[in-house]
Structure 1
Amino acid sequence: MTSTPDSQPQAADRPPPRASWRDAWAVYLQPRVLIVMMLGFSSGLPLALSGSTLLVWVSENGVSLGTIGLFTLVGTPYTLKFLWAPLVDGLNIPLLTRWLGRRRGWLVFTQLLLMAAILGLALTDPARSPFFVALGALLVATTSATQDIVVDAYRVESLAENEQAAGMASYVAAYRVGMVASTAGALFLVTGFEYVGLTRLDAWMASFASMAALVLIGIVTVLCAREPEQSRIADAAAGGKPSVSRIAEAAMGAFSEFLTQRHAIVVLVFVMLFKFTDAFAGAMTVPFIIDIGFTRNDYAIIVKGVGLAATLIGGFAGGFLARGTSLVTCLWIGGLLQAVSNLTFTWLALVGPQQWALTVAVSVEAFTGAIGTVIFVAYLSALCKNPLHTATQYALLTALASVGRIYLSSGSGYVAAATGWPLFFVVSVLVAVPSLILLVWLQRRGHFDELGPVKV
């Protein structure tokens, strides 16, 4: 239904009812929210290993800026994961599904594969065979993307409506903690292993093996969790059907149901572009920090240490914002903040390699980026409504969101080389304009009114 000037505000456009501060904090201690938080850690851990940590590794080995930019293409599985997401909705894992349920069985299965993939990446050497480094990172990204499919479905299906905002804030905060563990934690381990006498290659191998061990946290979390009630009901309803039929129905139902909505194509393009400004700047943040004179440990301490605190504050700020403000207003706030914050790196490039300046720039970017991420996750969750194919629909949306991070930002290294660092981050702000134009277009056509009650 399209909104008119005389119509009353619809459910999706009205701010959710306000709760007391005590009630707002109490929901973060609910068991389901705590489980989702720990699964956020599991999702964040492998992303950085095949992303920023990998970039530090190859940067130390003299790889050119253009090639480093192309390394973002190892994240291709994040853009294609919707192709195999129907398997997660329709296929049972032998024994594991029977013991743990559909979602939990898939989670344990993918986490075991993830441990093996990280250990495989640890055996590569960027100085001698960058191709095998890319291949190892690709395997980590593939298993990580599959884990994300299941975690996203579990989160959407398990949380009650009044837990969604807290769940998303906790998920994003823990997601960033996982990324810190696999960046700052991994880099400190490399330095420590080198200090006790290991070669650089052996130090990196031992560090990645330690990261593989951290995947056990996710496995223990799954074993302590319960299968979502929505998943059990949907699984029981389709239990008599062959796996092939269930997979086909998940694929066709998810896509047809979504594409029959009004403005579906515009929504998909908006999803693809909303986080592009973050991705474009983020692809070159590590090379920029190292290039202007900071060390590996500076990056670990400030970017992933101080940045973590700012991220946690920003994540919970985004959660509280989502509880008390309409979704479209939240998207405006998040979209503008995450774009303008890139200018702090332009300022840093002009100030030079001073640790206090890096601290300020990183804190601002991490805080605003976390707000934007929580709000964006809220929007994606509001678009998924059917437990029969939650995994497939959410995978489609997050895969499109990854297009900006993987493909559109893959040429950022060439842009940085051509413009220089100060102007590069100005360009990263300008690339946010198309998504804001689409936000205006969708708002004027009542898209957010049509979503119905939003789980934020």
Structure 2
Amino acid sequence: MNQPLKHDQDFPIKTVSALSLSVVVVLYLAHALPLYFYNVALPAILRHQGVDLRWIGMLSLLYIPWAFKFFWAPLIDRFYFKALGKRKTWLLFTQIALVLGVVALALTQFDYGLSIFVIVGLWISTFAATQDIAIDGYTVETFSESEYRLGSMAQSIGVALGSMIGGAATLWLYQLYGWQTALMCLAAMTALTMIAIFLIKENSNTEKIAKQPPSLIRAFKRPEILWALALIVCYRIVEAPAMAMLNPMLIDQKWSLAEIGVLMSVIGAGIGLLAAVTAAFLLKKIAATQLLIWAGWARSLVYALLGLAVLLSWFNQWHMLLGLFVVVILAIRYIAMTALYAHFMHTSSKEQAGTDFTILVCFELLVYFIGGAMSGFLAKAFGYGNFYLILAAASVLSVLLSQVLIHKAKQTEQLT
């Protein structure tokens, strides 16, 4: 499923320089900063201000643009200013919009009601999602096939750093200096990442090889995309409910919000960095799909152990043991995501890299949202222990089916 793309010969870049890799890390960090402020810091700040939990829960609606960004992805691949470059056009435009959005939050504070957070939040989320299309397209077009593992690693590192800085660090600044100072610092950090945009070097051949305008129809006609979509459903539908119930379980085990914040945003992000680097090293030796299967087996084992630990009341005796389970689950997840995104890069056509990659990511998010939505009902019906044992069994089935899909996809590619 990871065979060379037809047009790789048009892209002579064989190795990725440290500068190119750093640029990609910073680009992914750029749009992760404001997003993780909304995802990590803002819920805690709003709760501190006495905002109703129902309003805080509605913040999840801000991710709607991420699930449907594939609708305008072909436009990002198709329209741009030639003087600036195919990707630089959208990267600059969206980054300026993100900075303006964060500044607007800093200046409005809480004086205009919660609706302002939703409006500005949708602005930030929409432009961050649009920027992600351009970043993904740039990464696929710039890196050679053998270096996609590094592009996927850079993505994981950028997102992990965004979680630490946009989430944990901004929350810390808010506690020390207040809302406006914290948000202006976040705006300044977001603006500084714009430097990376001026350092990117776009391959001029990307404009020459596209024989037809980028479109969704072209993407869905490719067998590689269809097999990848099937793999996403099979693999990710199990992971989503397992991840969704980690925070509620931590709360029910009497972990404080501060402890959960450190565990998920600081320790978890640090583990994510190490896991991403480890995955990139492993991907030099094995195929992305093989690493994905290995992570799936490890995931199954950990879910089973977690379920047993709950049923046997281990966490009542060893309070921090649950934190260890969470760290291991996060590490496996980062390895799996690095492998999965490397596979997405292999699958995407360089003729419309942003469109193809975005379709896969959007579908992955949609499956993740659906899986997460089921989690609460299942956990309440069966209890945490049985819930994770059921997920362990489902994960085993998921891995077995994923292996079949990968094998079938390789057979299809050999025939074409």
SS in 2 for 1:375: helix
Partner of 1:41: 29
Picking from 171, 183, 196, the partner of 1:208 is: 183
Q: Identity percentage over the alignment?
A: 21
Matched, 1:396 2:352: no
Structure 1, unmatched stretches of 5+, are 1-9, 14-26, 194-202, 239-245
Displacement of 1:438 in angstroms is 4.1
CA contact (8 A) 1:259 1:265 kept: yes
Q: Which residue identity lines up with residue 410 of structure 2 in the other structure?
A: F
What do the CA deviations read for 1:135-183 (whole angstroms, capped 9, x no partner)? 4433322111111101000101111234322232233123211122112
Bigger mean CA deviation after superposition, 297-306 or 216-225: 297-306
Please say if 1:322 is aligned against 2:283: yes
Unaligned 5+ segments in structure 2 are: 5-14
The residue that corresponds to 1:270 in the other structure is 231
Q: Could you tell me how far apart the structure 2 residues matched to 1:352 and 1:412 are?
A: 23
Aligned-partner Cα distance in 2 for 1:105–1:263: 29
With over 3 angstroms needed to count, the CA separation of the structure-2 counterparts of 1:281 and 1:160, relative to structure 1, is same
Residue 294 of structure 1: CA displacement?
A: 3.0
What is the match of residue 321 of structure 2?
357
Cross-structure match for 1:376? 340
CA separation of 1:382/1:296 partners in 2, compared to 1, >3 Å: closer, same or farther?
same
Q: Which amino acid aligns with 2:258?
A: N
Contact 2:2 2:346 in 1 (8 A): no
Report what 1:186 is aligned to: 170
Work out whether 1:334 is the aligned partner of 2:295. yes
Task: State whether structure 2 residue 195 is matched by structure 1 residue 231.
Answer: no
SS at match of 2:349: coil
Query: How far, CA to CA, are the matches of 2:396 and 2:171 in structure 1?
Result: 35
1:389-410 superposed Cα distances (whole Å, 9 cap, x missing partner): 1111111111101102334423
Q: Alignment length, in residue pairs?
A: 399
**Alpha-carbon distance between aligned partners in 2 of 1:32 and 1:214, rounded to the nearest angstrom:** 20
Residue 218 (structure 1) aligns with: 193
Per-residue Cα deviation, 1:170-213 (whole angstroms, up to 9, x for no partner): 331232111221121122122222xxxxxxxxx34543332222
CA RMSD of aligned residues (A): 3.5
Which residue of 264, 276, 280 corresponds with 2:241?
Answer: 280
Q: Which has the higher helix share?
A: 2
TM-aligned CA distance change 1:141 to 1:343, over 3 Å: farther
Q: Which residue of 2 aligns with 1:53?
A: 41
Contact 2:32–2:162 (CA under 8 A) maintained in structure 1: yes
Query: Quick one: structure 1 residues 259 and 135, their matched pair in 2 at CA, closer, same or farther if it must change by over 3 Å?
Result: same
Residue from 305, 308, 318 that aligns with 2:269? 308
Distance of aligned partners of 1:438 and 1:55 in 2 relative to their CA distance in 1, 3 Å threshold: farther
- How far, CA to CA, are the matches of 2:91 and 2:244 in structure 1? 29
**For the structure 1 residues 161 and 175, does the alpha-carbon distance in structure 2 shift closer, same or farther, using more than 3 Å as the test?**
same
AA partner of residue 443 (structure 1): I
TM-score when normalising by structure 2: 0.82
2:190 counterpart letter in structure 1: V
Q: Which amino acid aligns with 2:141?
A: E
Give the Cα–Cα distance (whole angstroms) in 1 for the partners of residues 225 and 250 of structure 2.
Answer: 39
TM-score of the superposed pair, with normalisation by structure 1 = 0.75
Task: After superposition, give the CA deviation of every residue in 1:406-447 in whole Å (9 maximum; x if it has no partner).
Answer: 3442354455555554455455556646743541331342x1
Q: 2:330 aligns with which of 353, 363, 366?
A: 366
| Equivalent residues of 1:277, 1:338 under 8 A apart | no
Write the mapping of 1:45-124 to structure 2, written as runs, cut at 5 A: 45-58=33-46, 60=48, 61=50, 63-64=52-53, 71-93=59-81, 97-98=82-83, 100-121=84-105, 123=108
Contact 1:12 1:450 in 2 (8 A): no
Q: 2:413 aligned with 1:448, yes or no?
A: no
What CA distance in whole angstroms lies between the structure 1 residues aligned with 2:193 and 2:109? 25
CA drift of 1:80 comes to: 0.4
Q: Is contact 1:306-1:359 (8 Å) kept? A: no
The separation in 1 between residues aligned to 2:29 and 2:343, in whole angstroms, is 21
